[in-house]
Amino acid sequence: MKKSRNRNNPSKKMSTSKAIKLVLKENKPLFAAFGTGFVLVLVIGSTFAWSSYSSWVKNHMQSEVGTLDVKIIEEFEQDSVFEQGKKITKKVDVKNISKNPAIVRVQFEESTATFKVDDSTGMLQKKKKESSDKVATTSDVNSWEKGNIYQGKLEKEKFYVIGDSKINYQYKFQETDTRPDLLKPFSLVFSNGVKTVPDVTSTDPYWLYDDGFFYYSKVLEGGTQSGVSVLEAVNVLKENLVNPSKNKLYKIDVSAYGVRANSDSLAKWTPSQSVVQMYEADDKFEK
């Protein structure tokens, strides 16, 4: 699904030890966003490993001036091996690191690519790099296009050919039959705090899913964190993995967005009436 907003996503590699400890510094735009990306790579064998980490800042320039920053807080088994049928803990919370009351939402985007297989041997196709070849990298999902090549880890002079891909797919909660086939082996495990209809009588915080985004139900005061995780884990569904699918790239990008807790700022997100109803039930939200 193509998104209507424009975004500038410069990417910068970081060390594994720093990948989960990222802070978006305060700035002037009304909107602020923070994202983390994690790449799952398997070229040979039947296990997946988180092998690359990236981060970037996404600024949404607006005419109004304000300061509002949000930060993703994660509990993540970053050094674990991702085996078929095994859940990897990846809890996602959001913290308001500005001084202003905020409303926040979270978005998940997935990308994946498979490699071509030799029909006669069942092995991955290998080739030497030619001048006309475009090389795919784990850090840039836009390079995961069909026909591009990916460098092998064991034989540096050999490359694998990408057979098919699905790039920057916005995750849809409770999607089943319409989920792209290439992404069906991967499952995001959400917390029990995710709802699809607002509960204005609830005193406990929750996340409301609406049109590709997860909205935190409560206004977050400056320096406070969401009281319930939106995501709990990621896993590979063993029953959905055929042999060619065991050799692929997979990346999940997590982005959090925050605006001031008032009607004018919320309107810039063009949410559904359900989201508006949820926030208007909070006394801290300025109508």
Q: Show the domains of the chain with their CATH numbers.
A: 60-111+166-284 (2.60.40)
How far apart, in whole angstroms, are the C-alpha atoms of residue 166 and residue 42? 16
State how beta strands 149-151 and 70-76 pair.
unpaired
DSSP helix/strand/coil, 267: helix
How far apart, in whole angstroms, are the C-alpha atoms of residue 236 and residue 48? 9
Q: Is the distance from CB of 116 to CB of 126 less than 8 angstroms?
A: no
Residue 258 has a CB neighbour count (10 Å cut-off) of: 28
Per-residue pLDDT 10s for the chain (287 aa) are 444 444 444 444 444 333 323 322 333 335 566 666 656 654 434 444 444 333 333 333 333 333 468 887 877 665 445 555 666 677 888 999 888 999 999 999 999 898 888 888 878 888 999 999 999 988 788 999 999 999 876 566 789 899 999 999 999 998 878 899 889 888 889 999 999 999 988 889 999 999 999 999 999 999 999 999 999 988 776 555 555 455 778 888 888 889 999 999 999 999 999 999 999 999 999 98
Tell me the per-residue pLDDT of 16-47, one tens digit each, with 9 for 90 and over: 333 323 322 333 335 566 666 656 654 434 44
CB burial readout 216-227, b (16+ within 10 A) else e: bbbbbeeeeebe
State how beta strands 248-260 and 194-195 pair.
unpaired
Per the DSSP assignment, residues forming a β-bridge with 148 are: none
Q: pTM for the complete prediction? A: 0.77
Structure confidence at residue 175 (pLDDT): 85
